[in-house]
């Protein structure tokens, strides 16, 4: 069998969202699984709605997700190829050429200044309730699609449709098919919302005498609250939003793979190489899937937890850098001593659900001017004699060994034992004095990272009354 060629063909008319990303992902997976070619084609035939900004977002999002394209617009290491240009706005000559073929074959006519594609078959008029007007339906030999995911899909009726607008610009159905022919696309993997278009496309392929590609219509992603499919305006829809929030792309990719596909067993978290090995079209589900941000968050945490120390620190720094001047903690963290920054990050890594928690979680490490949470204060000072505990702790830590968490823990335990108290009698007030909150990394690690001077200063400065 000849080489698989698939394409992802977004139009830069809106922000890049999760459904598009998954379509791109499934195409990419299939190309990688089969050793085929992944083509990126920009469908920018609607001049009025296109924007360069949206185009940049497409490139940036695909790159961030790691969905490298073999052919397409050249961006970084991606792109190039022998079938270009890959933006439809630059392929007008080709569409004219193909239009002539259709005209020569007598398959077009003009109406209202636009050029229409003429279907073959028996015609009859019917009132369309949706459009509130009479339309001409064409009953022809059934267009049969042997869908790789859904099986046999048949459609017996269609309508003639516009292929070139009255302003001279060709329309989606037409350019989509022409480019698939010209770029020798073998498999069309797209959202189920295109299923009803497919008969039109099949008829165009046949009109050109071109081989019809294999189709695979993947189920849609439904919004998590309320009815309907996910759209650009829904919570959690935009890819760049995840990037901004510091979600790990590998977690998002893994999560997306599981929305409509599974390896056939219980495995969920898998390296992408393994997914590529196992992915295939017949394994894709037929039913729509509801987006679940909780599961995504869990996947993200799982990936975060297993990052190596170096990698975690690198990503944390990257995240803070992106926040830049907008965030006070980010500014201070980036300016901090790198070794200290690293220690703070590694202390926090096991406790986080996502990088976006980092600024709030680590703020007090980078400044002495941190707020004290009122509720936490009330809770921490409610029991026992916190003022006494604070004094005792300060005295004990003044001469303690700060080299390791266990050394600090030992010091506090010895102190507690001497007074028939427990570690837990010192922990709340110490945590409050050191961080201003009642949640955070282990107190001993916190002390070790802050160092004796800062710890003693904060404990000494803290006023219980």
Partner RNA sequence: GCCCUCAUCGUCUAUCGGUUAGGACAGGGGAUUCUCAAUCCUCAAAGCGGGGUUCAACUCCCCGUGGGGGCACCA
The window from 55-63, 100-108, 112-120, 332-340 that contacts RNA (CB under 7 A) reads: 112-120
Site string for RNA, 52-91 (x = CB under 7 A): ----------------------------------------
Considering only residues 165, 232, 391, 454, which one is a binding residue for RNA as defined by CB under 7 A? 165
Q: Candidates 107, 212, 427, 449: give the one binding RNA (CB under 7 A).
A: 427
Determine contact, residues 69/79, Cβ cutoff 8 Å: yes
Task: Give yes or no for residue 118 binding RNA (CB under 7 A).
Answer: no
228 lines the binding site for RNA (CB under 7 A): yes
| Of positions 52, 53, 125, 129, contacts RNA by CB under 7 A | 129
Looking only at residues 13 through 52 of this chain, which bind RNA when binding is defined by CB under 7 A? 13, 43, 45-46, 49
Q: Which of 136, 305, 309, 398 binds RNA (CB under 7 A)?
A: 305
Minimum CB separation of residue 349 from RNA in Å reads 10
Give strand ranges (E) for 264-404: 289-290
Identify the H or E element spanning 236. none
Q: Which of 118, 229, 232, 331 is catalytic?
A: 232
Q: How many CB atoms lie within 10 A of CB 369?
A: 9
* Residue 372 Rama label (left phi>0; alpha psi -120 to 50; beta): beta
Annotation says 132 is catalytic: no
Peptide bond into 207 cis (omega under 30): no
Instruction: Output phi, psi for 148, to 5 deg.
Output: -70, -15
By CB under 7 A, the residues from 322 to 381 that bind RNA are 350-351, 353
Residue 4: name the closest of 216, 229, 199, 198 by CA: 216
Question: Is residue 155 part of the contact set for RNA (CB under 7 A)?
Answer: yes
The DSSP code sequence of 314-341 is HHHHHHHHHHGGG-HHHHHHHHS-HHHH
- Under the binding rule (CB under 7 A), the answer on residue 304 touching RNA is no
Q: Which of residues 182-201 bind RNA (CB under 7 A)?
A: 192-197
For RNA, the closer CB: 285 or 367: 285
Q: If you compute the radius of gyration of the chain from its CA atoms, what whole number of angstroms results?
A: 30
Of the candidate residues 18, 29, 40, 171, the single one contacting RNA (CB under 7 A): 171
Tokens at residue 209, please? 């005498």
Q: Which of 153, 307, 346, 464 binds RNA (CB under 7 A)?
A: 153
Q: Which of 84, 121, 384, 442 binds RNA (CB under 7 A)?
A: 442
Smallest gap from residue 2 Cβ to RNA (A): 26
Nearest of 10, 208, 211, 214 to residue 117 by alpha carbon: 208
Closest CA to 283 of 271, 298, 306, 265: 265
Of residues 46 and 356, the one with the C-beta less far from RNA = 46
CB-neighbour burial class of residue 85 (10 A; exposed 0-12, middle 13-18, buried 19+): middle
Interaction of residue 403 with RNA, rule CB under 7 A: no
Q: How many CB atoms lie within 10 A of CB 99?
A: 18
Return the residues of window 241-260 that contact RNA according to CB under 7 A. 258-260
Residues labelled catalytic: 232
């Amino acid at each position: 069998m000849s080489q698989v060629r698939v394409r992802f063909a977004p139009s830069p008319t809106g922000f890049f969202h999760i459904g598009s990303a998954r379509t791109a992902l499934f195409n990419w997976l299939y190309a990688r699984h089969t050793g085929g070619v992944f083509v990126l084609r920009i469908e920018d035939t609607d001049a009025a709605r296109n924007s360069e900004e949206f185009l940049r977002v497409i490139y940036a999002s695909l790159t961030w997700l790691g969905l490298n394209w073999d052919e397409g617009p050249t961006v970084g290491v991606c792109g190039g190829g022998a079938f270009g240009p890959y933006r439809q706005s630059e392929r007008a000559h080709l569409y004219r050429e193909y239009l002539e073929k259709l005209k020569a074959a007598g398959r077009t006519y003009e109406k209202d200044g636009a050029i229409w594609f003429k279907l073959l078959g028996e015609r009859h008029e019917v009132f369309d309730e949706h459009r509130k007007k009479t339309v001409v339906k064409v009953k022809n030999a059934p267009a049969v699609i042997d869908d790789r995911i859904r099986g046999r899909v048949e459609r017996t009726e269609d309508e003639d449709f516009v292929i070139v607008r009255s302003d001279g610009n060709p329309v989606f159905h037409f350019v989509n098919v022409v480019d698939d022919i010209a770029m020798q696309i073998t498999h069309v993997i797209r959202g189920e919302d295109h299923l009803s278009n497919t008969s039109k496309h099949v008829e165009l392929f046949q009109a050109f005498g071109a081989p019809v590609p294999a189709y695979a219509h993947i189920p849609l992603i439904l919004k998590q609250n309320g009815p309907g499919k996910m759209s650009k305006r829904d919570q959690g829809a935009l890819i760049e939003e995840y990037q901004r929030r510091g979600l790990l792309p590998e977690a998002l990719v893994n999560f997306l793979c599981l929305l409509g596909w599974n390896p056939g067993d219980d495995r969920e978290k898998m390296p992408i190489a393994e997914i590529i090995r196992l992915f295939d079209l017949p394994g894709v589900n037929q039913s729509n899937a509801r987006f679940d941000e909780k599961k995504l968050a869990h996947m993200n945490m799982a990936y975060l937890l297993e990052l190596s120390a170096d990698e975690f620190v690198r990503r944390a720094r990257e995240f803070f850098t992106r926040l830049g001047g907008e965030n006070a903690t980010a500014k201070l963290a980036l300016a901090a001593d790198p070794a200290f920054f690293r220690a703070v990050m590694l202390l926090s890594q096991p406790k986080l659900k996502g990088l976006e928690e980092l600024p709030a979680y680590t703020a007090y490490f980078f400044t002495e001017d941190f707020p004290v949470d009122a509720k936490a204060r009330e809770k921490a000072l409610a029991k026992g004699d916190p003022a006494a505990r604070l004094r005792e702790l300060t005295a004990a830590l003044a001469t303690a060994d700060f080299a390791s968490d266990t050394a600090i823990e030992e010091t506090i335990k010895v102190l507690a034992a001497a007074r028939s108290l427990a570690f837990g009698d010192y922990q709340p007030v110490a945590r409050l004095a050191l961080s201003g909150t009642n949640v955070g990394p282990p107190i001993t690690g916190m002390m070790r990272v802050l160092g004796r001077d800062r710890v003693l200063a904060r404990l000494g400065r803290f006023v219980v009354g």
